[in-house]
Each structure stands twice: as C-alpha cells, then as structure tokens.
Structure 1
Amino acid sequence: MEIKITDKEMLEISFEDLKNFSETRMIHIPRKIVMNFIENGEVIGFVNFDMRYFNKNAYITYYLIPEERGKGKGKLMLREAVNFAFNELNLERLTAEVYEYNIKSINLLKRFGFKLEGQIRKGKYHDGKYYDILIYGLLKEERAG
C-alpha cells in the first residue's frame, strides 16, 4: 500500500456517505465569521465564530490584547458576540473550549451563563505540562450577563 501525504483528501466521498460526516464536508461557504473590535483605529481584540450552519451553532474563540485586559473590555466583547450570535446569526448554541489554567476566561464564560459540559483530559501541552481542555456550552434560552 502506498501512502501520499497532501493537504486534502484524494478520494471524493459519495453523497450517501456524507451523512456520516460533519456538515463542513457538505457545504462550501465560509465557516468563519470574525467580529474585530477596534478602538482608536487599532484592533484590540476579536471573537471568531466557527460556524455549524445546519445545526445552528458555533464554536467561539476570543482574544483581547494584553494591554486592554482588566478594563471590562473582554466582558463587552463577549456580550456583543453572544447577542450577535443569537440575535443576528439566529444560532441556538455556542461552544467554547478553554484551558483549565485560564481562570479569567472560565469566569467570564460562567458570567454569561456558559455551563461546563465536558473536558478533554490532558488535551493541551503548555510549558512542560499537560492540561485539560474544558468545554463550555451556552444555549440561546440560557444566556445571561
């Protein structure tokens, strides 16, 4: 058997078999929507939505530059993102993965009503040690903050 390493599959999946895969195999529209937060002409942070259109949910990632942390801006960004997700994108659910050592991010998610749904044990290697990845979810009807 020969092995060829490439950046994509060389075999096309039949339409019938697509039901066994995530929707990202079925549609070819942009999966990423990004809210960039700009202050005084400078980008200070973003919230990224990795969309799952058929299931009306998204994985979110957020980032705020270090100089702007501790000023309530992360809370403002997440509030805008949650409202945008549920009011404009008409999503039913948001999912966030956070490393167990990122206590500030965990507390921010909890403040908005995200609930711990699971963990990936030793899923993150950082600074010579393995850490768990915590999975938080928020349903449209549960939002707070």
Structure 2
Amino acid sequence: MPRVHGKRIMLREYRRDDLPWMRQWVNDPEIVYYLSDIFLYPHPLESTEAYLDSILEGSQDSRGFVIADLSDEAYIGQVNLDSIDWKNRVGRIGIVIASTEYFGLGYGTEAMKLLIKFAFLEMNLNRLELEVYDFNERAIRSYLSCGFQQEGRLRERQYKNGRYVDVIQMGLLRSDWEGQRNGQGDGVGEGKETR
C-alpha cells in the first residue's frame, strides 16, 4: 500500500522492526484500558509476533498502517481497517496511540483523518464504523471532529474495572464526509501518497 503523508505524521507500512514498539504497549495498562477485551490478559511475545506476521502476510479483509513520525518514520501507534466487507464497502476502524506521551496531542485525530480520506478515495469504501467506550471522552471528541456520528449505544455492554460501561457505536458515510470536506477541507494537509 502507498504511504499517506499528513502535516506531522505519515501512515506507513508495518515492518518487522515495529515489533519492539508493539510489545511496549500491548501489556501497558494505561494504553489497553481503552481497548477491547482482547487485551484483558497479558499478551505473550508469540501472540504479538503472530499478529504482526498476519499483517505482513496480508489479509483479504483487513488493511493496516503504522502511525509514524513524518520526519524519521518512528512508530507512534497504528490504525487498521478490519473486517472489511468488500461487497457492501464497509470497514471497521481500530486505532491505538502507543504511548501516553502522545496522548492529547492530536496524532490520533490526524491519523484518523488520513485513514478516512484513504478509505473513501483510494479504497472506494462507502461506510466506516467503530466502537468506543462511553468513558473515553478524548476519543469520542476526536471521532466527532472527524465527522463520525453516534449511531447506537450498547448499554452496560462491557465490564471494565469493577463496573459496567456502555459501548458507543459510531459511523461515517462517504457522502457525509464529502459534504463536510467540501465545506471545510479535510484538515490533514496535502495527504499525498508515495510508494
């Protein structure tokens, strides 16, 4: 896949040498607190290696990018389109910023905007969707600023840290995104692609 460049970051291919960076966050409670129950238990090295291998080998129903610093390509996190439904042109987004030092600096929002643009204009998807915990207010603000709308709420769907929390379902249609884009621009710079 091509690389997609923004103002401060790029979305680039996964590499074998991303493994140590991935290992730093997969068992970090401050990071995985906001992620799915896949991270409920400690992840052994072999699991992370198998996941990276599956990405490097390619899959028909997923596409992924590393969120990397624009100047030196250093790993910041990752953003993936999983469970792509090619017939109906739908992709489900998962994103992680891999270190708390990058939280709240807009890297996730910029990565999301780059991925949205790529998904709609290059992959010809029509709909993007994601789920987020109701307590993850920073992420919800980011997704809303990218054009996502709340489409549903699964009440008390997940048990997190001794209490039940809601899972918010969000979606973005290409037609809505195009309307917003025509009015405001996409907010990510040129978004040029290089191979």
TM over 0.5: yes
Residue 123 of structure 1 aligns to which amino acid in structure 2?
Answer: R
Structure-1-length-normalised TM-score: 0.76
Does residue 63 (structure 1) correspond to residue 96 (structure 2)? The answer is: yes
Match of 2:114 in 1: 80
* Alpha-carbon offset, residue 41 of structure 1: 4.2
Count of residues in Structure 1 that have an aligned counterpart in Structure 2: 117
SS in 2 for 1:135: strand
Match of 2:37 in 1: none
Unaligned runs of 5+ in 1: 1-28
Residue 96 of structure 1 aligns to which amino acid in structure 2?
Answer: L
Structure 1 stretches of 4+ moved >4 Å: none
Q: Is the 8 A contact 2:126 2:173 kept in 1?
A: yes
Match of 1:46 in 2: 78
Query: In structure 1, what is the Cα distance between the partners aligned to 2:105 and 2:162?
Result: 31
Structure-2-length-normalised TM-score: 0.57
CA RMSD in angstroms comes to 1.3
Match of 2:17 in 1: none
SS in 1 for 2:60: coil
SS in 2 for 1:71: coil
Greater relative contact order (Cα 8 A, min sep 6): structure 1 or 2? 2
Query: In structure 2, what is the Cα distance between the partners aligned to 1:72 and 1:106?
Result: 13
* Alpha-carbon offset, residue 42 of structure 1: 2.7
Q: Is the 8 A contact 2:104 2:138 kept in 1?
A: no
Residue 63 of structure 2 aligns to which amino acid in structure 1?
Answer: I
Bigger helix share: 2
Residue 143 of structure 2 aligns to which amino acid in structure 1?
Answer: L
Unaligned runs of 5+ in 2: 1-58, 181-185, 187-195
Q: Which structure: larger Rg?
A: 1
Residue 38 of structure 1 aligns to which amino acid in structure 2?
Answer: A
After the TM superposition, which residues 117-132 of structure 1 pair with which residues of structure 2 at under 5 Å, given as runs? 117-132=151-166
Of the structure 1 ranges 98-107 and 62-71, higher mean CA displacement relative to structure 2 is found in 62-71
Bigger strand share: 1
Residue 71 of structure 1 aligns to which amino acid in structure 2?
Answer: L
Residue 112 of structure 1 aligns to which amino acid in structure 2?
Answer: C
